Every structure is written in C-alpha cells, then in structure tokens.
Structure 1
Amino acid sequence: MSLELSHIHKSFGDFQALKDINLTVGPHDFVCLLGPSGCGKTTLLRIIAGLLQADGGDLKLDGQDLGQMPPRTRNFGIVFQSYSLFPNMTVRDNIAYGLRIRKEPADRIRQRVDELLQLIRIPTMAEHFPWQLSGGQQQRVALARALAVNPRLILLDEPLSALDARVRNEMRHEIRDVQRRLKIPTIMVTHDQEEALMLADTVVCMNNGTIEQVGSPQTLYREPKTRFVADFIGLSNLLSADWLRAHTPDILNQIPAPAQAPEALLCIRPEHIQVHADAAGPAVIQSITFLGNLCRMTLRWGDRELLAEQHAGTAQREGDRVRLSISPGQGCWVTA
C-alpha cells in the first residue's frame, strides 16, 4: 500500500501554505513531517486526512484518488495533540466508538477492544474514564481508538507535545513498537527533531510550505543538502570556502568546495571537530558545558564561534588555546 502526493498546493488568502508538494509513503513506512511552526506540516496532514481540500494536485492511495473522498470513507486512524477522548465514556467505550459507528457485532467489538487494551498495556483500566488517566495513558487510549477500525493509514498530529519529557520518551517507544508490530503506514507531524530521528524511517523536512529534503534520519543528519536542514536537524558549524581558505586551507584539500556552487557552506557537526591542547593554537575555548556523557565547547577562532563535542572528562579548560582538526571523511557542503 503506497500513498502518493503529486504537486499539492494550498493557499489561505494571499498566504501560500503549501507549494508543489511531492511525496510517496511506502507500505509499512513511518514518516515524520518535521519543521518549525507555520511550515505547512499540519496543513499537509489535514489534506491527507480529508479535513482540508487542496487547491490543486493529486492524492492517491494504491492508485485510488482520494481527492473527493470524504474523511469517514478513507478509513484512516487519526490521533490529535489534544487526544479528543469523550470525557463521559469509559476507556472501553472510547476505543469501541468507531466500531460501533460501523455497526460491528457486539462480540467482535468486545474482542477487538480487549486485544487493543493488551496492546497498549492498560488492560485493567477498561472501565476508567479519561479524567482518571494520566496524560500518557490517555494518549494510549487515543492511539487504540485510531487502531480499532484497522485503518489503512495512521495520522498523528504532534501527539506527544503535551506530555512531560519522561512520559514523552516512553510513548515514543510505545508508538514505534505498535507501528512495527502492526505494519500500518504512519505519518506523524512533529517539530521535535529528536522525536523524528528516533521514530521515523523517513524524515520529510519542511520549511515555508516546501519540502527541503526527504531521506532517512541518518541521511538528513549526515548529509543535509541545505543550510536550513543543517541548522534545524542537530547542531552544525557552517563555514564558507573563503573562511576555510583563510584559516585552515588543508580542510579544502580533504573536502573540496563544489565549483558549481560558490556560495555553498561546509557543514561540520560538533562531534566531528577534534580539540587538541596547543598553547600556540589558533582557537580559544570560550565555554565548556557539561552534558553528562559529553562536554560541549564553544570555541573562538578568528571571527567565528565554533561548537565541538568531546567525551566527558576532557582535560581542557575555559580560556585554553587549542588547535582543531576534522575527523576524516566527515563534513558535507550545503547550499546557502
């Protein structure tokens, strides 16, 4: 089962929310739409769900045109940020809601709800009401309700943003585990890069209504194509060829600047900068932040601040002069 989006665009008055979106979601894929607020990711999810009409373009699932199909007939499972559970219904009744609308037999509904209560690991809470549950438990129920109807596609709209850090991390594992076991293609909206890198098979990085880059989490982190992707996903040092030529030309011998893109910037991740004690070195350590298993250093080299990350226990101190080198084979050029 594959979802295909071709040349999707959407405007609200003079504001162009989506511009020529092209994307394919394969069978069993977990796709994260990642980007800052206002980049168009939720608008795109709502168009896929049928809650918004695109101004143009094609939307197909296994070759079937979804453009004029109402949301209720698409058989998609949707989980919103606010959970949207019915407060006057028990957990069991919330999960069973979609099945009852479809007039499934009572014994089939009971069996399916029991299966899902086991799947989301709260089998003893079937008769509880939403207000008696924690945020994480409510999110589990919302996910189970979406799964109850055996959806062709799961759509998650920032489902974890209201949870505290510990519960959010637990729920990431839960969602990924459920998705892998059931093998239902899933699209999730998030602005949390860590969440996208942890959960997704494919990350779709969006900015200003366009797709900047699509690829695996490893590809977008290690080989960003644009300055926006390099800045938005992880930390990065972005250095021009002119700066490198003036301060450390040997790097240009290792990673030559692309002749066809003179304005390109070299992206070097902090963990790929090696810091060496050297009283005559060209860089100075401005600050060191302890982060448990590593230390993050801010360094001043000429007119630039650079970030480097070293394993905790470094012997360097703030104010030390150092020289820097780049780990072999690391760094890539991005468009400015």
Structure 2
Amino acid sequence: MSLELSHIDKSFGDFPALKDINLTVGPHDFVCLLGPSGCGKTTLLRIIAGLLQADAGQLTLDGQDLGQIPPRTRNFGIVFQSYSLFPNMTVYDNIAYGLRIRKEPAQQIRARVDELLQLIRIPTMAERFPWQLSGGQQQRVALARALAVNPRLILLDEPLSALDARVRNEMRHEIREVQRRLKIPTIMVTHDQEEALMLADTVVCMNNGMIEQAGSPQTLYRAPKTRFVADFIGLSNLLPADWLQAHTPGILDQLPAPAHAQDALLCIRPEHIQLSADAAGPATIQNITFLGNLCRMTLRWGERELLVEQHASTNYQEGDRVRLAISPGQGCWVTA
C-alpha cells in the first residue's frame, strides 16, 4: 500500500501554505513531518486526511485517487493533539465507537476491543472514563480507537506534545512498537527533532510550505543539504569555505569540493571535532556545560564560536587553549 503526493499546493488567501509538495509513503513506512510552527506540516496532514482540499496536485493510495473518496470512507485512523475522547463514554465504548458505527457484531467488537486493550497495555481499564486516566493512558486509548477499524493509514497530529517528558518518551516507544507490529503506514506531525529521529523511517523536514529535505534520520543528520536542515536537526557548526582556508590551511584538501562554492558552508557536528591541548592553539574554551555522559563546550576561534561535544571524562577547563581537527570522513557541504 503506497501513498503518493504529487505537486500539492495550498494557499489561504494570499498566503502560500504549501508549495509543490511531492512525497511517497511506502506500505510499512513511519514518516514524520518535521518543522517549525507555520511550516505547513499540519496543513499537509489535514489534506491527506481529507479535512482540507488542496488547490492543486493529486493524492493517490494504491493508485486510487483520494480526491474522489469522501473523508469518512477513506478508512484512515486519526489521532489529534487533544485526543478528542468522548468524556461521557468509558474506555471500552471509546475504542468500540467506530466499530459500532459500522454495525459490527457485538461479539466481534468485544474481541477487537479486548485485543486492543492488551496491545496498548491497559487491559483492566475498560470501564474507566477519560477523566480517570493519566495523559499517557488517554493517548493510548486515542491510539486504540484509531486502530480499531483496521485503518489503511494512521495520521498523528502532534499526539505527544501535551505529555510530560518521561511519559512522552514512553509513548514514543509504544507508538513505534505498535506501528512495527501492525505494519500500518503512519504519518506523524511533530516539531520535536528528537521525536522524529527516534520514530521515523523517513523524516520530511519542512520550511515555509516546502520540503527542504526528506530521507532517513541518519541521512538528514549526517548529510543535510541546506543550512535550515543542518540548524533544525541537531546542533551544527557552519563554516564558510574562505574562512576555513584562511584559518586551517590545507583542511579543504581533505574534503570533497562543494557543489556550489560561492555560498557553501561546511557543516560539522559538535561530536566530530577533535581537541588537543596546546598553549599556542588558535581556539579558547569559553564555556563547559556538563550533560551527564558528555560535556558541551563553546570555543572562541577568532571572530567565530564553535560547539564541541566530548566525553564527560574530559579534563579541559574553561580558558584552556586548544587545537582542533575534524574527525576523518566527517563534515558535509550545505547551501546557505
């Protein structure tokens, strides 16, 4: 089962919310739409769900034009940020709601709800009401309700943003485990880069209504193509080629030539910079932040600041002068 989006455009008045969106979601893919507020990711999800109409372009699922299928008959499971559980219904009735609308036999409904209660790990809470559940438990019920009708596609609109950090981390694992077990293609909207890197097979990084880059989490982290992606996903040092040549003669000989030399920036992740103590070194450690298993250091090198991450056992002190080197095979060029 493959979802194809071709040349999708959407405007609200004079504001272009989406511009020429092209994307393929494979049969078992977990895709995260990642980007800052206002980048168009929720608009795109709502168009896929059928809650908004695109101005141009085509959406197909298994070759079937979704524009010809009303939202209620697309058989998509949707989980919103607010969960939208029925407050006057028990957990059991919330999960069973879609099955009852379809007039499934009572015995089949009971079996399906029991199966899902086991899947989401709250088998003893069928008779509770939403207000008697924690945020994480409500999220599980919303997910089970979306899964109950055996959806062709799952759509998640920032479902974890209202949870505290510990519960959010637990639910990330739960969602990914359920998706892998059921092998249902899933599209999730998030502004949390850690969430996208942890969950997704494919991360779609969006900015100003366009896809800046799409690929595996490893690709977007290790080989971003643009400054925006390098800045938005993880921490990075972005250095112009002329500055590198002036301050580290010969370093460019170790790297492939940039595709667009005029505006190219070298992206170096903080963990890929190696330090060596040197009283005559060109850089000075300005700040050291202890983060448990690592230390994050801010270095001043001429007019520039660099971020470096080292193992927490490092013996460097603020004020130390150091020399820097790039780990072999690391660093990539991005467009400014």
- Calculate the TM-score normalised by the size of structure 1: 0.99
Equivalent positions of 1:6-25 (< 5 A) are 6-25=6-25
Structure 2 match to 1:86: 86
* 1:37 partner amino acid: S
Query: SS of 1:92's equivalent?
Result: helix
Equivalent positions of 1:215-226 (< 5 A) are 215-226=215-226
1:50, 1:163 → 2: CA distance? 27
Structure 2 match to 1:136: 136
Structure 1 match to 2:292: 292
Structure 2 match to 1:153: 153
Structure 2 match to 1:318: 318
* 2:97 partner amino acid: Y
- C-alpha root-mean-square deviation of aligned residues, in Å? 0.7
Structure 2 match to 1:302: 302
Structure 1 match to 2:271: 271
Query: SS of 1:124's equivalent?
Result: coil
Question: Shift of the alpha carbon at 1:216?
Answer: 0.2
Question: Shift of the alpha carbon at 1:251?
Answer: 1.7
1:125, 1:195 → 2: CA distance? 28
Equivalent positions of 1:117-136 (< 5 A) are 117-136=117-136
2:260, 2:112 → 1: CA distance? 59
* 1:217 partner amino acid: P
Structure 2 match to 1:27: 27
Contact 2:236 2:269 in 1 (8 A): yes
What per-residue deviation string (whole Å, max 9, x for no partner) do you get for residues 306-336 of structure 1? 0000000211100111111110000000011
Question: Shift of the alpha carbon at 1:67?
Answer: 1.0
1:25, 1:256 → 2: CA distance? 32
What per-residue deviation string (whole Å, max 9, x for no partner) do you get for residues 159-206 of structure 1? 000000000000000000000000000000000000000000000000
What per-residue deviation string (whole Å, max 9, x for no partner) do you get for residues 91-116 of structure 1? 00000000000110111001000000
* 1:189 partner amino acid: V
Aligned residues: 336
Query: SS of 1:154's equivalent?
Result: strand
Query: SS of 2:318's equivalent?
Result: coil
Question: Shift of the alpha carbon at 1:259?
Answer: 5.6
Q: Gaps (5+ residues) in structure 2?
A: none
* 2:137 partner amino acid: Q
Tell me which stretches of 4 or more aligned residues in structure 1 moved more than 6 Å: none
Structure 2 match to 1:189: 189
What per-residue deviation string (whole Å, max 9, x for no partner) do you get for residues 274-329 of structure 1? 11110000000000000000000000001100000000021110011111111000
1:192, 1:67 → 2: CA distance? 30
Contact 2:240 2:266 in 1 (8 A): yes
1:177, 1:259 → 2: CA distance? 40
| Structure 2 residue 58 is matched with structure 1 residue 58 | yes
1:171, 1:227 → 2: CA distance? 31
Contact 1:241 1:257 in 2 (8 A): no
Contact 1:257 1:264 in 2 (8 A): no
Structure 2 match to 1:212: 212
1:225, 1:134 → 2: CA distance? 41
1:58, 1:20 → 2: CA distance? 11
Query: SS of 1:235's equivalent?
Result: coil
1:104, 1:259 → 2: CA distance? 59
2:71, 2:218 → 1: CA distance? 34
Query: SS of 2:261's equivalent?
Result: coil
* 1:133 partner amino acid: L
Contact 1:277 1:321 in 2 (8 A): yes
- Calculate the TM-score normalised by the size of structure 2: 0.99
1:260, 1:205 → 2: CA distance? 21
* 1:144 partner amino acid: A
* 1:207 partner amino acid: N
| Structure 2 residue 181 is matched with structure 1 residue 162 | no
Query: SS of 1:181's equivalent?
Result: helix
Q: Gaps (5+ residues) in structure 1?
A: none
| Structure 2 residue 49 is matched with structure 1 residue 49 | yes
1:98, 1:175 → 2: CA distance? 20
What per-residue deviation string (whole Å, max 9, x for no partner) do you get for residues 45-83 of structure 1? 000000000001000000000013211100000000000
What per-residue deviation string (whole Å, max 9, x for no partner) do you get for residues 243-289 of structure 1? 10110122211114326432110000000001111000000000000
Contact 1:288 1:317 in 2 (8 A): yes
What per-residue deviation string (whole Å, max 9, x for no partner) do you get for residues 196-223 of structure 1? 0000000000000000001000000000
